[in-house]
Structure 1
């Protein structure tokens, strides 16, 4: 872990990170303070143990035996979810193991790579809709349509139903966001149950149609693990979690990338000089510098010592991914600067996709969308930029780092599509 001055033991230093009451656009100084002087400490604002070093965050996210996910990872619960509601990032082994075994295969790198042609067509179609105007809102007009379109394609939603499905999925993502940020319950439970019932109907229809399709719902509907089929409710909850993760976080990642390019014009100029060649490293650096997931929750499951702190079962922990991804012991080449040509072949994986058994199964899809989105937007929309004078406001809360809105402008006309 990052060293601290000997004269400042962890018990004597209070964390400066305050994501609920003093969330800032540039938190790197306060996170550097916490990482160096109290890398593991109880944060009164979070009412949890806060971990800020790369190694510490990695330890918590990967240590599923000591750090349970069954009491929530995007907001902390007082009691574990009922077993039938525990799925993927909200589950521990063995339940998590059987679910993940199937999804890793269904969302393999080769399968997602086969979606590139679809991804490029979709991005071009959205840009065609925008090209008559000289401005648009990044999230609603582009990123949401991009993310929801990929989820619909993966799930096998019929073309005629995709707009309705995307609107419903967006509503659920909004409810999850308001709940995790502590702003309101927002009727989440009632609407979630209605949405799960709707998904259950889709699953039953897929089962009635037989196993002939390769879409994800069909694969989940007919998959067997140890001779047993998944229950309809379990499949519905997995799809719901994939909707939230596959749409919400990707929206943030696409928007954050556009904002960072605007904020660092010398890096933007470098990207524009080699868009195809730098799209992968741009995505990696965007996720490192400004991850759309700032941190994740865990609950201590057994007496555990992390850093200089003893943690008891039931205590909450918040692993601050934003701090870990700026750790100078790992990213020592100017960790608080946005540099799109880092040598990723010789750097460890940054942490937005998690660690260990909870490593995000949708990583390949998210990276594809980020790369295609940046490539198409900056190839086809001349001088694409954040609207001059616009100051975006961050969403509140500890988990998400993205803006409420992001207004973009470009110089007409849009350049012709290539797909």
Structure 2
């Protein structure tokens, strides 16, 4: 039995609990007031700095998201501990920036996503999804859904967008797994701060070097891949540096790959656990798919939290916040706030309205790739269920992380 006094989100013991218990813990925190102070961060990982306030209600997370001038992303990183400078060198992408630099990079990147480019990506999603389904038809009828399906689609799309050669796909996948490994011993050494830092830095360096080498080759040349477009872009006299381009690719490879693949993996597991929702979806796929995608993202919340830092003394929904305080925005908790969502612990693809914040709250850091992610999930399930309406998952092997709600491996059978 959980008591609100015993809940400490800095302790890995909390994240070892089953999902139902974690969700119950967040419910208790929501009902006992937010923001709520937690104890000092443990030493040993970066600069722990002061403790933080956990924002667990929908109202608090949304309000903090829409006030970037008061709650910024660029002080110390979006991780809970302040990251060492050498780590931020590789991971200091748009997600850890504030305006005006954030606005500059987002403006350049957004201009590269022309309607023609977006249509090309969307057409490619259909092609890749059909290839994956064809491989399933030719396979043994069982396997690891993450490896066979859900990680292949976003990885292929992202690498094709950037013009990454197929020979580098595995490096991209392996590096993104390490960067978002949390505390999972499959990807990072346990209880070894120096070893963890070295492996994280190596993963970032692999992705940085890959993109910077390709950008040097493509500088000044015509090309329709994103590396060529971005390295040669000049928007109102502004362009990306090779460092900024490398950091953007890390964000794209990590966020675009991990979040989409986890939505697809969780989606199959949810439709296995809830056959009545599968039946509803398949009764009219085109009518129910948009709602199903939003409900998967709400229910799962692939990114569990992001950090902000108060830039000045202020208030947040009548709570006093001091300059320099860390605030951790728990999207997964906000997406189960009963003041916003009726029966929030129920998986309901017909839920309406569904104002979830699984792609981030309102404001400048709302996910740039949300449209493409929705498209990938939609196409993959349409193709998958058309070919294998009886496909089922087994029990997932979950990522041990307090940041990503991930599935590492997911057994499946086609019938």
Q: TM range, normalised to the smaller chain?
A: 0.7 to 0.9
* 1:312-344 Cα shifts (integer Å, max 9, x gaps): 33332211101111112222x322211101224
| Distance in 1 of aligned mates of 2:5 and 2:377 | 37
Q: Equivalent residue for 1:178? A: 181
Q: Equivalent residue for 2:158? A: 151
Select which of 17, 34, 44 maps to 2:29. 34
Select which of 167, 171, 195 maps to 1:168. 171
1:178 alignment partner, SS class: coil
Corresponding residue pairs, total? 388
Select which of 66, 73, 77 maps to 1:72. 77
Give 1:148 shift. Answer: 0.7
Q: Equivalent residue for 1:16? A: 7
1:55 and 2:59 correspond: yes
Q: Equivalent residue for 1:188? A: 200
Select which of 90, 100, 103 maps to 2:96. 90
| Distance in 1 of aligned mates of 2:264 and 2:40 | 29
2:324 alignment partner, SS class: coil
Residues 1:355 and 1:40: Cα distance change in structure 2 (over 3 Å): same
**Preserved CA contact (<8 Å) 2:397 2:408:** yes
- Structure 1 unpaired stretches of 5+: 1-11, 412-419
Q: Equivalent residue for 2:396? A: 392
Give 1:370 shift. Answer: 0.8
Give 1:17 shift. Answer: 6.2
| Distance in 2 of aligned mates of 1:268 and 1:45 | 44
* 1:157-201 Cα shifts (integer Å, max 9, x gaps): 3xxx22x22211112111211257795335221342243122111
Residues 1:287 and 1:15: Cα distance change in structure 2 (over 3 Å): farther
| Distance in 1 of aligned mates of 2:6 and 2:118 | 41
| Distance in 1 of aligned mates of 2:259 and 2:7 | 26
1:406 and 2:401 correspond: no
| Distance in 2 of aligned mates of 1:178 and 1:352 | 20
**Preserved CA contact (<8 Å) 1:40 1:309:** yes
Residues 1:110 and 1:383: Cα distance change in structure 2 (over 3 Å): same
Give 1:305 shift. Answer: 2.5
Select which of 255, 270, 293 maps to 1:260. 270
Give the structure-2-normalised TM-score. Answer: 0.85
Q: After superposition, where does 1:72-151 map in structure 2 within 5 Å? A: 72-77=77-82, 86-107=92-113, 111-131=117-137, 132-151=139-158
| Distance in 2 of aligned mates of 1:113 and 1:228 | 25
1:314 and 2:324 correspond: yes
Give 1:365 shift. Answer: 1.0
Residues 1:120 and 1:78: Cα distance change in structure 2 (over 3 Å): closer
1:299 and 2:309 correspond: yes
| Distance in 2 of aligned mates of 1:253 and 1:102 | 28
Give 1:153 shift. Answer: 2.2
Give 1:79 shift. Answer: 6.3
Q: Equivalent residue for 1:330? A: 340
Give the structure-1-normalised TM-score. Answer: 0.85
1:285 and 2:295 correspond: yes
* 1:76-134 Cα shifts (integer Å, max 9, x gaps): 32567768963210111111010001222334677434433321221111121122211
RMSD between superposed Cα atoms in Å: 2.6
Residues 1:320 and 1:239: Cα distance change in structure 2 (over 3 Å): same
Residues 1:222 and 1:180: Cα distance change in structure 2 (over 3 Å): farther
